[in-house]
């Protein structure tokens, strides 16, 4: 075990005595609810295509670039987030995300589409990535007893942000108009409103002192309960990191494969039955999936605090594989079965995102866990391309071969099942990190002595 030669700088104010740790999740939530607008980009697509004479591929480009920049900025900016602290990271996220909308407003007003791509996609995408990982390590230091619940609350906001942004954006376009001027005004309002809302999180966030008062017992308790951790650079050299990379990639690929194709998929499955699905019903199905995605982020991640991270991923991946098999074999025979399986899969999709930071904390400690999390999110970037590609390419080829209905998706559902099995195996290979990778963080608080029998039990649980 070694000690880092350069102490990490911790930005932002330290919480004063008596500060309630329950003020920290709302601070994180204000950031994630804002950047979760990214999932509502489709609301702007029809207006952009008609107002700026764009193709569907062109109108999707800002969103695609934003997701790419999310993964890259999270991966390369994670160490800066850990070094400078959550307030610095949230401020950077605020400036980039809001500026992205303001630049896009200028682009729409002047009919310069490249400014929208640059503003929302590049600048705003950096705000997405930095904002996504900004509260992770701070939340887990405040809630060492319930890290899954704490990160689940924040990351739930990213899944639920679109539920607020979609109707709000649509209402603005209805009010301002769908021409270039109306789009510019809508972007302008978004940029200013999100700047105000995100500033609440910037002002409210606090880092924990070495010891804080436990609100239930009234006694002083250690917040950074681990006396060692693993640096982001060392984590990349461990098999545990790459096992979790595969786990996250497979889980996200399976979930996003349904999410991206949800409306046409349910319509195709029941198009040739006595109960076809209307356009309105398909849209309602998409809304249900979004709700399941959001609920899974807090529900399943909180459950992981009770049953353990490895066990909850056994559920995500093992039960998820069964759900895909049920859809492929019996989905067109029962609409309730199809909907139930899809809702479960999307809850696992959201839960996987929310649980992974706590899994990383269990393995690598809280030291630089935000930076490690950022690097792991490159799995999301790969899965975001892989999932839709599998489903759409196979469906297109099946349609070209004269197939229709559920036959369009049979092979892709089988592929998804196989990917979840691969993720399940990767999860089973996760073991505790070897002590040679441990370092002693500069601000670590020595952990209380652990009885031998409890230490052995904890080691068995990690295995």
What digits encode the pLDDT tens for the residues 189-198? 999 999 999 9
Mean pLDDT of 87-93: 94
Strand partners, 211: 222
Bigger pLDDT: 286 vs 130: 130
The answer to whether the beta carbons of residues 32 and 86 sit under 8 Å apart is no
Q: Which residues pair with 222 in a beta bridge?
A: 211
pLDDT at position 93: 95
pLDDT band at 218 (very low <50, low <70, confident <90, very high): very low
Spatial separation of the C-alpha atoms in residues 99 and 96, rounded to whole Å? 5
Pair of tokens at residue 145? 């007893």
| Single pTM value for the model | 0.77
Average pLDDT over residues 365-389: 84
pLDDT of 459 reads 45
User: What average pLDDT does the structure give for the chain?
Assistant: 83
Phi-psi region of 433 (alpha: psi -120 to 50; beta: other; left: phi over 0): beta
Q: Encoding tokens for residue 132?
A: 């996504």
pLDDT at 228: 64
DSSP state of 447: P
Q: Tokens 């356009």 correspond to what residue? A: 279
The tens digit of pLDDT for each residue in 283-297 reads 678 778 888 888 998
Q: Residue 7 and residue 200: Cα distance in Å, rounded?
A: 29
Tokens encoding 128: 């997405």
Q: CA-CA distance, 91 to 127, in Å (whole number)?
A: 9
Q: CB atoms < 10 A from the CB of 345, how many?
A: 28
Tell me how far apart the 2 most distant CA atoms of the chain are, in Å.
Answer: 70
Contacts of residue 236, defined as CB under 8 A and 6 or more positions apart, other chains included, come to 375
Q: Is the pLDDT of residue 445 over 70?
A: no
Phi, psi (rounded to 5 degrees) for 336: -60, -40
DSSP secondary structure of 352-419: HHHHHHHHHHHHH-STTHHHHHHHHTHHHHHHHHHHHHHHHHHHHHHHHTT--GGGGTHHHHHHHHHH
Q: What is the pLDDT of residues 311-368, one digit of tens each?
A: 999 999 999 999 999 988 887 788 889 899 999 999 999 999 989 999 998 999 888 8
Helix (H, G, I), strand (E, B) or coil at 26: helix
- List the beta strands (DSSP E) in 64-219: 211-213
Alpha-helical (H) ranges within 226-319 are 232-235, 239-260, 262-269, 279-307, 309-314
Statement: residue 383 has pLDDT above 50? yes
The band of 460, judged by pLDDT with boundaries at 50, 70 and 90, is very low
pLDDT at 212: 45
- Dist CA 140 CA 115 (whole Å): 38
- Residue 440, pLDDT score: 66
């Amino acid at each position: 075990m070694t000690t880092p030669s350069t102490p990490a700088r911790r930005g932002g104010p330290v919480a004063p005595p008596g500060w309630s740790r329950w003020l920290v999740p709302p601070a994180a939530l204000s950031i994630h609810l804002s950047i979760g607008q990214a999932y509502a980009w489709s609301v702007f697509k029809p207006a952009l295509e008609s107002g700026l004479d764009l193709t569907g591929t062109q109108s999707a480009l800002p969103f695609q670039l934003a997701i790419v920049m999310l993964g890259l900025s999270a991966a390369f900016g994670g160490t800066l987030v850990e070094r400078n602290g959550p307030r610095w990271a949230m401020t950077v996220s605020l400036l980039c995300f809001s500026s992205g909308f303001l630049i896009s407003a200028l682009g729409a007003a002047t009919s310069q589409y490249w400014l929208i791509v640059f503003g929302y996609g590049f600048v705003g995408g950096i705000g997405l990535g930095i904002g996504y990982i900004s509260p992770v390590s701070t939340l887990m230091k405040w809630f060492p007893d319930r890290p899954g619940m704490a990160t689940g609350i924040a990351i739930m906001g990213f899944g639920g942000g679109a539920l607020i942004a979609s109707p709000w954006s649509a209402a603005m376009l209805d009010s301002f108009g769908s021409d270039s001027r109306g789009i510019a005004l809508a972007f302008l309002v978004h940029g200013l409103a999100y700047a105000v809302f995100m500033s609440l999180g910037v002002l409210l966030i606090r880092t924990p002192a070495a010891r804080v008062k436990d609100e239930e017992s009234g006694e002083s308790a250690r917040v950074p309960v681990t006396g060692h951790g693993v640096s982001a650079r060392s984590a990349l050299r461990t098999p545990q990191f790459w096992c979790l990379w595969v786990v996250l990639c497979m889980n996200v690929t399976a979930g996003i494969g349904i999410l991206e194709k949800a409306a046409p998929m349910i319509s195709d499955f029941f198009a040739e039955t006595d109960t076809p699905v209307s356009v309105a019903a398909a849209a309602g199905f998409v809304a249900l999936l979004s709700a399941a995605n959001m609920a899974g982020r807090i529900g399943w991640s909180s459950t992981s605090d009770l049953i353990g991270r490895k066990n909850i991923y056994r559920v995500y991946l093992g039960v998820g594989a069964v759900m895909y098999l049920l859809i492929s074999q019996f989905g067109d025979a029962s609409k309730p079965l199809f909907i139930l399986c899809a809702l479960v899969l999307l809850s696992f999709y959201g839960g996987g995102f929310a649980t992974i930071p706590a899994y990383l904390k269990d393995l690598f400690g809280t030291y630089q866990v935000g930076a490690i999390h950022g690097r792991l999110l490159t799995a999301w970037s790969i899965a975001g391309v892989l999932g839709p590609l599998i489903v759409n390419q196979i469906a297109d080829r099946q349609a070209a071969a004269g197939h229709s209905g559920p036959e369009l998706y049979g092979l892709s559902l089988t592929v998804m099942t196989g990917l979840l099995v691969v993720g399940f195996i990767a999860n089973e290979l996760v073991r505790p990190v070897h002590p040679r990778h441990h370092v002693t963080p500069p601000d670590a608080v020595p952990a209380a002595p652990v009885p031998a029998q409890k230490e052995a039990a904890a080691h068995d649980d990690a295995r």
